[in-house]
Amino acid sequence: MPQIDLNGIFPPITTPFIDDKVAYDKLASNIEKYGQTGLRGFVVLGSNGEYVSLSEEEKRKVVETVIQAAPEHMSVIVGTGCESTRETIRLTADCAALGAHAALVVTPHYYGGKMTEAALIKHFSTVADQSPIPILLYNVPVYSHVNLTVNVVAPLSRHPNIIGIKDSTGNVIQLGEFLNQVDDDFSLLVGTAGALFGALTLGCVGGVLALANVAPQNCVRIYELIQAGDFEAAKKLQLKMIPVNKAVTAIYGIAGLKAALDLLGYFGGEPRAPLLRSSDEEKSAIVEILKQADLFGG
């Protein structure tokens, strides 16, 4: 089984559209720019990548594009979770064949009321049993309305082909429970920049952060400062990044994230409908927030 280094910062990259079609060249050029930033790798087809709005064919071409464009030293983790175990296995196999280094599998959630601990453990185990590449669990209740508790995560952490979790709750109490009970070689990645400092100091090995799309160097810097033991500086930078993170996630969403990318030298573009484009007022607010956070370079 190939090893993948999860220690560090991963952006869940956006999918660029032009006239509602995937702009693969823009995707490739974004990837190349990220190569200079100290990021450990990429998460492709995550929530910020609008994976739910892509056709199967588009998903494959996005993965291919990223794998070709990504620098040698960077890992490519692909979101392959579908509602059914069967479809998840199939998409994971396909993405492995395309060269993905690991698969990020979101909790099935449409039938959330029936996603009992037993159902979730069986789902993830079965996928991991059959996957040619390592599996990361993906816990994102803000979208899925299902929370992966320690009762699910702890036993799954002992599966040889499940190597970690991206937890987007930002809930340090739950992260503490995970740390207490998961297998030693199971890695915790925090899934929201708002809790990056708290998660890394507690024991997470890295982060998959929407913010890392627009402020990769600052995210990497927080990670490095904590590695170096300079908590005070890390905390200061963490607090400075909070308004930016809130803008490109909770407040303005993916449309806002893309608007910020356009302002910062990457290709952002517009989200795919039904997500609405940012209004001019929203774009102005985003400019101001990026300015306040000193993200407009020199």
Residue 228: how many other CB atoms lie within 10 Å: 10
Tell me the three state secondary structure of residue 208.
strand
Would you count residue 177 as binding a second copy (CB under 8 A)? yes
Q: Residue 110 or residue 296: which is nearer to a second copy going by CB?
A: 110
Q: Of these, 23, 28, 38, 53, which contacts a second copy (CB under 8 A)?
A: 53
CA 244 to chain centre: 17
Quote the radius of gyration of the chain (alpha carbons, Å): 18
- Does the CA dihedral 201-203-206-207 come out positive or negative? negative
Question: Is beta strand 21-22 parallel, antiparallel or unpaired with respect to 17-18?
Answer: antiparallel
- Considering the rule CB under 8 A, would residue 149 count as an interface residue with a second copy? no
Q: Which stretch binds a second copy (CB under 8 A): 68-76, 95-103, 208-216, 241-249?
A: 241-249
Q: Residues 26, 261: contact at Cβ < 8 Å?
A: no
Q: How far is the CB of 104 from a second copy (least distance, A)?
A: 15
Which residues, 6 or more positions from 17, have their beta carbon under 8 angstroms from its beta carbon?
Answer: 23, 269, 270, 271, 272
Shortest Cβ distance from residue 33 to a second copy (Å)? 26
Q: Identify the residue among 3, 176, 284, 291 touching a second copy (CB under 8 A).
A: 176
Q: At what angle do helices 231-246 and 280-292 cross, to 10 degrees?
A: 170
Q: Should residue 230 be labelled a site residue for a second copy when binding is judged by CB under 8 A?
A: no
Comparing CA positions, the residue from 170, 176, 173, 219 lying closest to residue 195 is 170
Q: Is 170 in the site for a second copy (CB under 8 A)?
A: yes
Interface residue with a second copy among 23, 28, 93, 172 (CB under 8 A) is 172
Of the two residues 75 and 157, which places its CB atom closer to a second copy in the complex? Answer: 157
147 binds a second copy (CB under 8 A): no
Taking CB under 8 A as the rule, does residue 52 contact a second copy?
Answer: yes
- The torsion defined by the Cα of 29, 42, 108 and 121, in degrees rounded to 10, comes to 160
Number of residues that bind a second copy (CB under 8 A): 63
Question: Would you count residue 291 as binding a second copy (CB under 8 A)?
Answer: no
How far is it, in rounded angstroms, from Cα 211 to Cα 216? 7
Q: Which is nearer to a second copy, 61 or 231 (CB)?
A: 231
- With CB under 8 A as the contact rule, the residue among 19, 73, 173, 297 that binds a second copy is 173
Q: 213 is written with which tokens?
A: 């799309």
Counting contacts by CB under 8 A, is residue 281 touching a second copy?
Answer: no
Largest alpha-carbon pair distance within the chain? 53
2: Cβ–Cβ under 8 A, 6 or more apart, which residues?
101, 133, 134
Pick out residues in 200-219 that bind a second copy (CB under 8 A): 201-203
Site residues (CB under 8 A) for a second copy? Answer: 20, 47, 50, 52-56, 83-87, 90, 108, 110-116, 118-120, 122-123, 126, 142-143, 145, 170-173, 176-177, 179-180, 192, 194-195, 197-198, 201-203, 231, 235, 238-239, 242-243, 246, 250, 253-255, 272-276
